[in-house]
Amino acid sequence: MYLRKVMDFQWCCFSPVKQPLDLSMITSQLRTYVAISVFCVLKASSLDTFTAAVYEHAVILPNATLTAVPRQEALALMNRNLDLLEGAIISAAKQGAHIIVTPEDGIYGWNFNRESIYPYLEDIPDPQVTWIPCNHPNRFGHNPLQERLSCLAKDNSIYIVANIGDKKPCNASDPQCPSDGRYQYNTDVVFDSQGKLVARYHKQNLFLGEGQFNIPKEPEVVTFSTPFGRFGMFTCFDILFHDPAVTLVKDFHVDTILFPTAWMNVLPHLSAIEFHSAWAMGMGVNFLASNLHHPAKKMTGSGIYAPDSPRAFHYDMKTKEGKLLLAQLASHPHHPVVNWTSYASGIEALSTGNQEFKSIVFFDEFTFLELKGVTGNYTVCQNDLCCHLSYKMSEKRLDEVYALGTFDGLHTVEGRYHLQICTLLKCKTMDLHSCGDSVETASTRFEMFSLSGTFGTQYVFPEVLLSEIQLAPGEFQVSSDGRLFSLKPLSGPVLTVTLFGRLYEKDQASNISSDLVAQALSVMVIVITTIVYLLSW
């Protein structure tokens, strides 16, 4: 029966010759057909391009409580969110999407402590167990979330990326085991088009207020392969650190990053679409960013980004609805090599006298120079970083101020990380000390610009953000010698043109220094306490 099916199969490369054969010839012919069919299937399943989808989800939030609600109440809330996600997943699949990314916290929201998050968690097994929850829902206990996600993926033949909570029991034999006897993780999962769990990632870099979750003991580097490329994933705040984000690209050579996030926009340099598109360009990978939609918390901004230009993006602070984005991407994008200091190191820094001024950008003190003409060449330096700008405005407006700024140092608010930044930005008012304040609209258009810097890192992310928080696809590029320059007059007024550099190797040193300081202070307290005690005795 099997032989009959093989002989009747119309092969993708050629059809079998119908003539009498002896058994040995049939066996030989069968082997040939099998080998050719495997080759043809592999060839057909290896795609040069794929259709990606991301969904910006207007999450339904639970009632705020510091105590755990009944499991059924938690499931009811999660299923309401899944109903909305299901609509986006089905729509994406009908439009040909191969994979869809949904947001961090998109199934249950936020404002939890360790106790109140517990009813929303499931035990997520290691994907090596080869499990399709839709087919075997009770294999690892009762996991209705994983079952529903698995069935959605299987029924719609689409890869689904979702963010849920994982729980893992522990006991006193583990010295790091929390007092409640369990680890709780902010977790991304991926189900393939057959409904199989193929990836699980525990968030490494927890943001402020994520006390309900634990950090994994070691950073997890999670990848998986598909017929349309090699994928890696991390979550939200992870993007600002080396592990696992940079490691996935540098050492594991992924083609595409999957990025569930609950991102609160911070201008001028950390608006979601601005920074995420810049990370894709700086690292030379596709980047699928799915954000929550909650304007009251400045949460919006999702996109599908290629290394050369955004393919689709969404930023909406006015409405309350979610948004589905789709776009086609190369399965194996080209990763250009850039020497970020080559061009800038050949420019002599001119003395600017007392024209420089200081102003604060997101708690960091930048050194600035005001752009005083319709066209010009400026250089401004701070510590080891000198930034060079050539530009031409369409006109020099009397009601707007632009400045060239630089920062080279340790950022210490909402995280500790070393930055080197060159930025052209619009100041909020005519007062120079407003340079760096959040501003969303502008009127000045630029005919051309070229920005470069003497960076001490290879990790630099190029940003161009226009008025009304819009990107400029296809209007600029980065040269191999490290210049961020315009290809044509920009289509809208400029908010900022920025090279955002990260010195990851200095992070560890600063953290060690912080630990040493803390230890020294602890010792000092003990010594002082002892002296006071002895004197009183």
- Provide the annotated active-site residues: 104, 203, 236
Question: How far is the C-alpha of 236 from the C-alpha of 349, rounded, in Å?
Answer: 37
Amino acid at 521: L
- In whole angstroms, what is the distance from residue 489 CA to residue 487 CA? 7
Sign of CA pseudo-dihedral 304, 309, 311, 313: positive
CB 458 within 8 A of CB 315: no
Count CA atoms within 13 Å of residue 181 on its CB side: 1
Torsions phi, psi for 390 (to 5 deg): -115, 140
What is each CA distance from 358 to 19, 325, 436, in whole angstroms?
87, 41, 10
- Tokens read off for 72: 């059924």
DSSP state of 367: E
| Cα torsion angle, 491, 497, 503, 504, sign | negative
Angle at the Cα of 29 (from 26 to 32), degrees rounded to 5?
Answer: 150
Q: Helices marked H in 69-223 — which ranges? A: 71-94, 114-117, 144-156
Q: Which residue type occupies 34? A: V
Residue-wise burial string across 503-525, b where 16 or more C-beta atoms lie within 10 A, e elsewhere: bbebbeebeeeeeeeeeeeeeee
Peptide bond into 268 cis (omega under 30): yes
Query: Helices 71-94 & 144-156, crossing angle to 10 degrees?
Result: 10
* Extended strands (E) in 336-459: 357-361, 364-370, 375-382, 385-393, 402-411, 417-426, 446-453
d(CA 468, CA 156): 36
Q: Given 3-state DSSP classes, what are the helix, strand and coil percentages for the chain, each rounded to the nearest 5?
A: 25, 30, 40
Q: In angstroms, rounded to a whole number, what is the distance separating the alpha carbons of residues 97 and 94? A: 7
The alpha carbon dihedral of 77, 79, 84, 85 has a sign of positive
Element spanning 41, H or E: helix 23-45
